[in-house]
Structure formats: C-alpha cells, structure tokens
Structure 1
Amino acid sequence: MANKVDVIIQPNPYDTQLTEIEDTKVYAIPGPTTYILFNRLYFKNFAGVLKLLEVALGMVCVALAGRNFSIDHNYLDEFKQITFLIITSSFMVGTYLVMLSSLLSKPFGELIGQTIYEILYNIHAGVLHLIVSSMVMSETQNYSGKKQYNVTMACAIVSMINAVFYFISAFTGHSKYKRYNYAYQ
C-alpha cells in the first residue's frame, strides 16, 4: 500500500489578491507563511454591530473623560474621574479584543456564544458602566463652569447608553447560549 502524503502549499508572499472562500464566508488575506481569515459576515449580524457601537461609544467616553480630567485637591472627585476612566477604558479594550477575535476567527465568534463568558462579561460591563456614570452625574453638582458641566454630563450620558448596549448584548448572548445548550440536552 502506498502512503498518503499531505502536500502543504505555501502562499505566494507577493500575491496581494483577496481570495474568497465560499464555504466559510471569509476572505483569505495571503501572508508570508499563512492566510489570515477575515470573517466578512461578522458586521452583518446584530452582535457584530453592537460590539462596534460599544467600542465606538467607549472611545467617545475615554476621549471626553480624558480631555476633561483635572487634578485638583478634591480627592473624591479625582476618585470618581479615575474610576470612570479605568472602567470605560478597560471594557473598551476588552470589547475591542473580543470584536477583533470574532472578526479574524470565525470559530471564535461561534464558540464564545456557546459559553457563559459573553453573558457575564456584558452584564458586568453594563452594571459597572451604570455605576460609574451615576458617580460622574453626581459629581456634576459641584461644577460651577458650564463647559465642564456639559462635558461631564455628556460622558455620563454616553456611558449610560453604552450600558444599555451591553445589556442588549447580554440578552442576545443569553438567547444564543440557551438555544445552543438546550439543543444538546
């Protein structure tokens, strides 16, 4: 009997053409040693659009809060500002990494919906965004300048909207998780 030999074909590193693979609905971007698969359907579903909105609103929150950050000798206000920046930037980066992983790896997007991680992550993100936005809103009572008041209130409102998006993501993740787990019981 003849042995079966697998042939590994390396892509041409100078080839810049995108190759569409029909059965997986991804684009293959040739690299020097392997293909990078780009999941083109990720932003066509509701979960992908929600992740993109969560990252964009997180960027807005971090930019507004970072621009408005001031160090004075009122330690309670500094604590609220630093807590707001830490929570919003942490969940912005975490959501970006989940979005990037789902975008570049189709199995990751399908597998994360089958675990409880997405539900817990989104619930914690929503709750913590609500807490820090209410902390920042309570801080606005101490402001005398209209510009600082408006920027701080905008940070709190955008953070509350982001919390709503995180709760919607948790609900859609729960329905996906429930559908998968009840199918295999």
Structure 2
Amino acid sequence: MMRRQFKPTAASYNPINALPCIEGKVVLVVKCLDQIICRRCTPNEGTYNVIAVLCEQGMVQEAFSIIQSLGNKQNSSMHDFYRSVLTGLCRKGNTYPAFQLLRMLDEAMEIFRLMEENNYRPDANNFNAHILGFCKSQRTNLSLEVFEMMIEKGYMPNETTYTIIMEGIAHENENQLAAKVLKELHLR
C-alpha cells in the first residue's frame, strides 16, 4: 500500500490483526497495533472489536493490557479513551467482551473510582456506556444500579441516559414499567 502511495488506516489494519487475535497470538497483535500507531493511524471501533476477540479466547487480562497501552500511546485522557472503547464495543453489540474487559459491575465501578482518584471526572457519557452495555445484554436491573449510583454521586443524567434506560426496560417486555418511568420523567 505504501509503495502505491495509499495511506493505510486503522480500518486497513483491523482485518490483518483479526487472525492473531482469534489465534491468541498477543505478541503479533501488539506488533500490528504498534504499526498502526507508527503510521499515525488512529485506532477505531473496529480496532477495539478486534481486540475484544481476545476476551472471547479467554485472554481478558491481555486484552485489557493492550487497550491500556493503546490509550497511553495515544496520549488521550483515560476519560475519553474508556468512553470511546466502551461505547464502541457496546454499539457494535459486543457487550460481553466489553464487560469482560471491565470485569462486570464492581470492577467497572472501580474504574470510575480510579478515574476520580486521578482527577478525571466521569461524565454522563461514561455512565451511559455502562448503562447501554447492561441494557443490551438484557441486564436492565444492573443498568438501573449504575443509574442510581450516578445520581448518588452527583452526576447529571442526560437525555441519552433516559432513552437508553427506557429502551432497555421496553426491550425486556416491561412496557407498563417503561410507561410508568416515562411518566415520572415527564413530570420532572
């Protein structure tokens, strides 16, 4: 590609990196990701989806390490980086790998605690990513726990927060509950 003066992108590297992820060849995955960074390509949602395949292979710790390393190499704030990773995985329906990376609710909340300790204040989008993941995996009860914690900690939900929760409740065929929650929100 370089000889023909085509500029590679993360999208062109992602399929190349998929096979080593499927085979659990972490060293090759890291080398390919290093090439992405060296070529000044920005990893995209597809990149995180490819890395999430490692979770499906039982290599959660390795995937988590790779994602942390990517965040450091990009010099992006952990706040934005984790929001991007979580949102990307959840929007593509890869909630299981996303939760494996976050090691479920307690550990996901631990990430928020660590963010706060390091002066990164989570925002509604960070919480929304968690809530969306739980709703998509039909664990609306856990999404409501995250929502309650969000309010208890003084974070302001936004319209997207409410939309995600309403859709999650309705998706679980709890239409009466969804209507009741919607009415309550409308009154507020």
TM-score bracket for this pair, using the shorter chain length: under 0.3
Higher strand share: 1
Superposition TM-score, scaled by structure 1 size: 0.27
Superposition TM-score, scaled by structure 2 size: 0.27
Higher relative contact order (CA 8 A, sep 6+): 1
Q: Which has the larger radius of gyration?
A: 1
Higher helix share: 2
